[in-house]
Amino acid sequence: AIFSSAAGLFFSLVYLLSCGLMLWFFPGSFNILDAGYASLENFFSLSAILFIILIPALTMRLIAEEKRSRTFELLRSRPPGICKVWFSKWTAVFSFIFVNVLFTTVYIYTIYILGNPVGSIDLPATFVSYISMLFLAGVFISVGLFASSLTKNQIVAFIIALLLNFILYFGFDLLSTLFQNGKVRVVVSSFGLSFHFNQLQRGVVEITDLLIVLFYFFLFQLLSLRILKQHKKEARKNLLIGTVFITAVFILMLISPVYRFDFTKDKRYTISDYSKNLMKEYAGTNTSPLKVNVYLDGNLNAGFQKLRNAAYNLLAELERYAGYNMEVSFINPAVIPQAKANIQEYMTQQNMPGILLNEVDRDGKLSSRMIYPYAQLILENDTLPIPLLKNIPGNTAEENLNTSAENLEFEFIDAIRILNRKEELHIAFIDGHGELSRALLYDAEEILAKYFFINRGEIINDVSVLDGFKVVIIAGPTEKFTEQEKYILDQYLMKGGRIFWLIDGAYLSRAELASNGQSPSLKNETGLDDMLFTYGIRIDPNLLQDSQSTKILITNNESPQPVTIPWYYSPLLLPSPGHPVTKDIADVKAQFASSISIIRKPDISTDILLTTSRHSKIIEVPEMVTFNIEDIQNNPGYFNESFIPVAVTLSGEFSSAFVNRMIPDSISLNGHTTIYKSKPTKIIVTSCSDIIRNELAGYDSQTQVLPIGFDRESGRQYGNRDFIVNAVKWLAEDEEALQLRTKNRQLHLLNKQLIYENRNYYALLNTLIPLVLMIIVISAVYTVRRIRYTR
């Protein structure tokens, strides 16, 4: 009867038209084509809202009308019994909704075809989302039949069902906001359907998600049967069975272990064991809650809304493993009371400067506004802001947002680790060999001080002088190390120490180059060649040029005005996408870099971190370095080398550089026995100290420190800071933490060109096909019933 009823026709018209128009035609937050992502999340969210309203319209008359017309007494006296009658009505409505939902699978076809590349849709997660939508419909039907059994008035039944649906879906979430305790909030929310539906529509299934559906389904079935007053014998039997079943389901909900199944293709909602253990450790060592303020809320476009949702989902997971000892808030900066006068100034004071977001709508209209994609973590008296947006030059907006979502787990876990750390980690910059001055390393020390205690000094005559440091950094030496110093460094490495070498293969005078326009370059004699060779590396005495380079402002005799020319000695180095140190960082700005030769050694594994581009040139030294670029630009075959290594990692058990060598007599051993084979350890070798060097702007008291990797001519910030921080953290800490940066999240996008060319076609297809098919089914059922009952 549902298929041929006016209520059924009304449901199909409203549901399918609303979905078709709001998802494919009307601009707004639900429009799939405007969002540009190969996902049906908006469809499932919209369907939940429509089901809350429309399913009561389907069920309101099923029992109420029969009670009003007194035909229900006949049904109750018939052999099948009230329970079977109730279930047959539920099945009829569910079947009707199932057919409506089935015809919307044309949306999957459209998303599949429009994917960039084709097929860029997460089918397993989409399938789980469809199943969850049917579960939700099943509960709402049970609620609707209960409401219909309460009264003879259809309108009253509709209103009761609508209110109950709203309470079951939204009510518990609203109620949970009254509680401060995180665990209580989650427990209260978990009784609401939206808590479980939102998880299911992401493609993540927990046992409690299924149990809550069964609980509400049988609860309202039992209440319906109780109200309908079955015969005493049947009533007692069904009441007993229903009560036992509901009680069992409720107990299972409370005691069932948390088993989660992530059906997404890239397992995007599965956090690492490292993160789980860290959050459990935090819960065991802290009584104060960790406050997390995320400044991504309000009117966001589709891309930033997805980033916000990704942060929300991740924090919900972390909160669960932290024993709900967290207070998570999503805040719209525009409504912060302290920021109303000047939002930008307030957020900048909080070390969260705004980012100008330019948006173009489907009509080509450009709009700009400031956003603040940051989170602020507060533990007792410590506050740590973290950026949520990765802005890598050369990437599209979608790629940057996807990269940002990939890095969320690392960023939050890294920040929590810093706030919760009890152990002091010390690192040391070595002095005494013409290394970069403190002024030129100021920015590096500033950014590393967030994670480590910074020390700086010369190597004294004590073989254990470096033992207390997690990492030793040698940045830009230009003078020779003594045999005594080399021995101390070698034995530090043998004991498992980690060293970050930033050593130039060639030396030239920057001052002479700036004043005279030229400078001779020579091999940089540091006396470390033999050590590095033993470990498996050689820094070659040369300089690298690259067509992918920065620009430099110079003056010449031909023009009174300064001119900008390519500075081929300043290559933009390409980061390796597969290593945690360099994944998702921008190109690294270098100057006067040299090539690195890798010497294969047993027990040592090597990874390349940074290389030049496809079009490079090796200049052997000695050579005069000048600003002359004409010969280079007039020679098409000049850049004849490709992907020359400039930074590498070496990991394993190193052989000592003092095997079969005399130990310096002057060394103070203090009972130390020379170690000839190291513990498992690792080093990073970079053949360009400029990577860690910051520029200085201004003079005397007006001097300003520019960030490392900042290019004054273009105003661009390159990836040097990220490289330095990641490199030192990779050396100093458990590699498992940095492995979080290697997490990949597939980017499911729609083909914008196809959408532009065929928008109306696909909008009409997805609006009309489900509607036409449903009308055909309804008409066919109506015709069959009419023929059958007119005979």
Residue 742 lies in a domain: no
User: Mind listing the pLDDT tens digit for each residue in 188-212?
Assistant: 888 889 988 988 888 888 888 888 8
Considering the domain architecture, whether residues 621 and 713 belong to the same structural domain is answered as yes
Considering the domain architecture, whether residues 696 and 786 belong to the same structural domain is answered as no
**What number is the average pLDDT over the span 293-308?**
85
Considering the domain architecture, whether residues 607 and 650 belong to the same structural domain is answered as yes
Considering the domain architecture, whether residues 487 and 352 belong to the same structural domain is answered as no
CATH code for position 410: 3.40.30
Q: Which of 443-457, 464-478, 568-582, 744-758 has the least mean pLDDT?
A: 744-758
Considering the domain architecture, whether residues 65 and 199 belong to the same structural domain is answered as yes
Of 364-378, 391-405, 586-600, the range with the highest mean pLDDT is 586-600
Question: What are the strands, taking DSSP E only, across 531-611?
Answer: 537-539, 542-546, 549-556, 559-575, 588-589, 596-598, 604-611
Cβ proximity of 503 and 523 under 8 Å: no
pLDDT given for residue 256 in this prediction: 58
Considering the domain architecture, whether residues 717 and 620 belong to the same structural domain is answered as yes
User: For the whole model, what pTM was predicted?
Assistant: 0.76
pLDDT given for residue 432 in this prediction: 93
Residue 200 token pair: 């299911």
Residue 227 corresponds to which amino acid?
A: I
CA pair distance 588, 760, nearest whole angstrom: 44
Between residues 262 and 529, which one has the greater pLDDT?
A: 529
User: Mind listing the pLDDT tens digit for each residue in 156-195?
Assistant: 999 999 999 999 999 988 998 888 776 787 778 888 899 8
| Number of domains composing the chain | 3
Residue 740 lies in a domain: no
Considering the domain architecture, whether residues 480 and 386 belong to the same structural domain is answered as no
Residue 744 lies in a domain: no
> Of 420, 447, 474, which closes a domain?
420
- Residue 429 has φ and ψ, to the nearest 5°, of -95, 130
CA pair distance 86, 66, nearest whole angstrom: 12
Residue 743 lies in a domain: no
Considering the domain architecture, whether residues 130 and 43 belong to the same structural domain is answered as yes
Confidence at 787, pLDDT banded by 50, 70, 90: confident
Residue 739 lies in a domain: no
Considering the domain architecture, whether residues 720 and 755 belong to the same structural domain is answered as no
CATH code for position 489: 3.40.50
Cβ proximity of 501 and 686 under 8 Å: yes
Considering the domain architecture, whether residues 45 and 138 belong to the same structural domain is answered as yes
Considering the domain architecture, whether residues 256 and 283 belong to the same structural domain is answered as no
> Of 420, 450, 465, which closes a domain?
420
Cβ proximity of 233 and 83 under 8 Å: no
pLDDT given for residue 126 in this prediction: 93
User: Mind listing the pLDDT tens digit for each residue in 210-220?
Assistant: 888 888 998 88
**What number is the average pLDDT over the span 336-345?**
73
Range of the domain at 213: 6-264+749-790
Residue 737 lies in a domain: no
CA pair distance 571, 590, nearest whole angstrom: 6
Instruction: For residue 644, give Cα distances in angstroms to 136, 294, 431, 501, 618.
Output: 58, 41, 29, 18, 9
What is the residue whose two structure tokens read 């180095």? 573
pLDDT given for residue 549 in this prediction: 93
> Of 387, 420, 453, which closes a domain?
420
CA pair distance 698, 705, nearest whole angstrom: 9
Backbone dihedral region of 416: left (phi > 0), alpha (psi from -120 to 50 degrees) or beta? alpha
CA 404 to chain centre: 5
% of the chain with per-residue pLDDT over 70: 92
pLDDT given for residue 362 in this prediction: 65
Average pLDDT, the chain: 87
Confidence at 275, pLDDT banded by 50, 70, 90: confident
Residue 1 lies in a domain: no
Residue 741 lies in a domain: no
What is the residue whose two structure tokens read 């009707």? 96
Considering the domain architecture, whether residues 416 and 444 belong to the same structural domain is answered as no
